[in-house]
Amino acid sequence: MSQTIPEADYLVIGSGVAGLRAALELCRVGRVIVLTKGHPLQSNSIFAQGGVAVALSEEDDVAIHLTDTLKAGHGLCRREAVRVLVEEGPNRIQELIRWGARFDKMGGKFAFAREAAHSRSRILRARGDATGNEMVRALLAQVIRQKQIIRLDYHFTVDLVVEDGRCCGAVVLDENSGEQFILPAKAVLLSTGGAGQIFARTTNPPNATGDGMAMAFRAGAELQDMEFVQFHPTALYLPSSPPFLLSEAMRGEGGELRNNKGEAFMPRYHPRGVLAPRDIVARAIWTEMAATRARHVYLDVTHLESNFVKRRFPTIYATCLRHDIDITEEWIPVSPSAHYMMGGVLTDINGATTLPGLFAAGEVACSGVHGANRLASNSLLEGLVFGMRAGAAAITWASRCSVPDLSAHRERLKCRGAGRLDDAEKLRNSLRRAMWSQVGLVRSRESLARATAQLARWEQMVSQPFATRADLEVKNMVQVAHCVAEAALWRENSVGAHYRADYAKPQRPGWKLHSRLRLSEPVTDQPGAPKGEKVVSRRPRKTG
């Protein structure tokens, strides 16, 4: 297999919105290989329902979008990154429209919707609730036209290759043949998405296992703000089915949240009611569930006109109907689920990580644009804006480099054995349950200490090279989960999506610090387990 793959100037790992936009930038000057584990239409981007936030309407402007984003981030956003997002966003969306993306219109004009914590109607949507799908469709169509881009689907990236302190390639597993091989490159760009699967309840697809964060961490890159995990307030709750996201736009269109007594409870928790920021809504639901000893609350849209609901939320309507719930006539059982990682691989505003030659964009990255709590529908815009910027920065970096000779790494890979993990599925399930119960919506020193101790034991169990995607995913999940738990234990205050029951008072002293994790002795010459200790630093960073 490795003999038939052409040499690439750039590797893009992941094929959601950020990865595809980066590849389109990179292919202007060189050959690009886009690596995708599994099928290309299984990314988080594909499942993004609500829409993409952008200041394009007559009532909006970028300054208002910036203010809303900073406010949602609870004072921990990096202002410069937010400015880039909102100022460059309109151009990236117009570009996508020129490439064929079709957003919903009303009366010949774009139909902008409003979601929680937005002070203006600025959410563009496609086919009602299939915005991510439409954006990926348009980007993929553009990628297919580019002869300089080679797509390798069903190729799992095992680890990054580091030579002389520079990231210059990756170890790749062909999922069909089981062969592992090395791909060299002048620069590597991570766009692998998030890590929702480390929690028992998540809106993320099964492949969101934190691979990019784990491999970057093993290679020596720094991670930032890993304690900030956004829990979406409203995921469909059915005991026998995985959670399914019920878009925040349903509340934006007038949906109400009710407890099992039928009470509309959100006005008791926030002046904006159901349109309060996500972290507040999610914890309010959690509190109501605890008070009424219920496993869920209800989302009620039965008072909205039936045909409007079917037209506005066709995917949600059809999915719920398959579970024998007619949302136009019945309340929908919902509960919070892990949804989005605000933390990730630390980058500057151009996508450069702390490891030379490695760039990152999208949910895998932490540029500081989301702070402690992401503003709804900013993520798809982030993928476009920072995917393009990371690609441009990688081009500048690579202009000073050549494709490296990695023959020594190839020889080591041939000699390296790869084992099997005993009962990977059992470990995966145990990890997810532990994270949900101990590092979930409500945390404490006691629960986090238990979690970190258990995760340290599991990390020892996965400290060897593995041969299969299933085993490698579990390894990545354990390592990313350990980083989340350690950062959460370190942050002894409650802010944004991070809530400590033992430090419930907001903005306790030290709240403006950012957690950073790195390995004291990163692996640099062979794929495998981390060496050395995790270092949690307490460096303050300018936030605004």
Instruction: Return the structure tokens found at 433.
Output: 């349950």
* Rounded distance between C-alpha atoms, residue 516 and residue 349, angstroms: 17
Q: Are 22 and 146 in contact (CB under 8 A)?
A: no
Q: What separation in angstroms does the CA of 399 have from each of 39, 149, 182?
A: 32, 18, 22
Which is the catalytic residue, given 21, 31, 122, 278? 278
Residue with tokens 């939320």: 313
HSE of 324, CA atoms in CB hemisphere, 13 A:
2
For 30, the 3-state DSSP assignment is coil
* Rounded distance between C-alpha atoms, residue 42 and residue 206, angstroms: 9
H-type alpha helices, 463-540: 469-490
278 among known catalytic residues? yes
Q: Rounded to the nearest 5°, which phi and psi values hold at 359?
A: -125, 160
Q: Are 372 and 498 in contact (CB under 8 A)?
A: yes
Neighbouring CB atoms inside 10 A of 528's CB total 17
Instruction: Return the structure tokens found at 365.
Output: 């990255």
DSSP state of 264: B
- Angle at the Cα of 132 (from 131 to 135), degrees rounded to 5? 85
Closest by CA to 86, choosing from 385, 383, 393, 375, is 385
- Angle at the Cα of 137 (from 15 to 351), degrees rounded to 5? 35
Residues tagged active-site: 278
